[in-house]
């Protein structure tokens, strides 16, 4: 069964594939994930004002264009001291969409004077699955943590290098510090991530589609 992931971010596609492999186990072999980018589909303008609205917009567009089931997610970083910003604007916080380094640098500059104890934040994700029949399934997830002062780690994408999740895998980095999301293995991150939690809300529907 082919499912189109409504993304032009190949890092996100890899992450979603890992999560589904963990949760579907051997049945994941029956799912072929392809990105909207690989099919040369346009990236629709995200006009929604919530994560769920944007996720539904993207998935509906892909299903309409391809006739295939589609998975889409919309997620972002919520920094408490910034009044829940950058939120739905996370991917384009510095202006250009998906410019991770610029987004991180701007956010760190904006909260530079905020004490360590007041830099709480959370990632939030809404994931949706839309079937060709029009049936829609929604999953939600959050990952609480805090923002550090300098990036650490080479894995992941987005704000991962400056975000330390509250839920840690039980090991420290080489300097004895809690891990950022970018220092975790894919398995460690997916077990606690906002996207992992949201996608797990879709697993039963995917499982049912495999049986159909």
d(C-alpha 103, C-alpha 178), whole Å: 22
Q: Which residues, other chains included, contact 88 with Cβ-Cβ below 8 Å and sequence gap of 6+?
A: 46, 48, 49, 50, 51, 54, 74, 76
| Annotated catalytic residue within 74, 167, 173, 208 | 74
Residue 13 has pLDDT above 90, yes or no: no
84-141 tens-digit pLDDT: 999 999 989 998 777 999 999 999 999 999 999 999 999 999 999 999 999 999 999 9
CB 93 within 8 A of CB 147: no
Q: Which helix (H) or strand (E) holds 124?
A: strand 120-130
Average pLDDT in the chain: 93
The answer to whether 74 is a known catalytic residue is yes
Which domain does 39 fall in, by range? 2-211
d(C-alpha 209, C-alpha 21), whole Å: 16
Per the structure, how many domains does the chain have?
A: 1
* CATH code, domain with 9: 3.90.950.10
155-190 tens-digit pLDDT: 988 999 999 999 999 999 999 999 999 999 988 998
Token digits of residue 76: 């972002």
Q: Given this model, what pLDDT does residue 25 score?
A: 81
């Amino acid at each position: 069964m082919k499912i189109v992931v409504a993304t032009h971010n190949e890092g996100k596609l890899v992450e979603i594939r890992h999560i589904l492999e963990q949760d579907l186990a051997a049945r994941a072999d029956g799912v072929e994930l392809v990105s909207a980018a690989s099919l040369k589909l346009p990236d629709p303008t995200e006009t929604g004002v919530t994560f769920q609205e944007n996720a539904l917009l993207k998935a509906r567009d892909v299903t309409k264009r391809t006739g295939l089931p589609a998975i889409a997610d919309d997620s972002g970083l919520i920094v408490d001291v910034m009044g829940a910003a950058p939120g739905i604007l996370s991917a384009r916080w510095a202006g250009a969409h998906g410019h991770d380094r610029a987004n991180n640098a701007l956010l760190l500059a904006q909260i530079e004077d905020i004490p360590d104890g007041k830099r709480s934040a959370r990632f939030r994700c809404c994931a949706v699955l839309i079937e060709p029949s029009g049936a829609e399934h929604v999953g939600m997830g959050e990952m609480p943590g805090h923002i550090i002062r300098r990036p650490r780690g080479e894995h992941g994408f987005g704000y991962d290098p400056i975000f330390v999740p509250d839920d840690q895998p039980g090991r420290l980095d080489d300097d004895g510090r809690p891990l950022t999301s970018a220092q975790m293995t894919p398995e460690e991150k997916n077990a606690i991530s906002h996207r992992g939690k949201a996608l797990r809300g879709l697993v039963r529907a995917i499982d049912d589609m495999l049986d159909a």
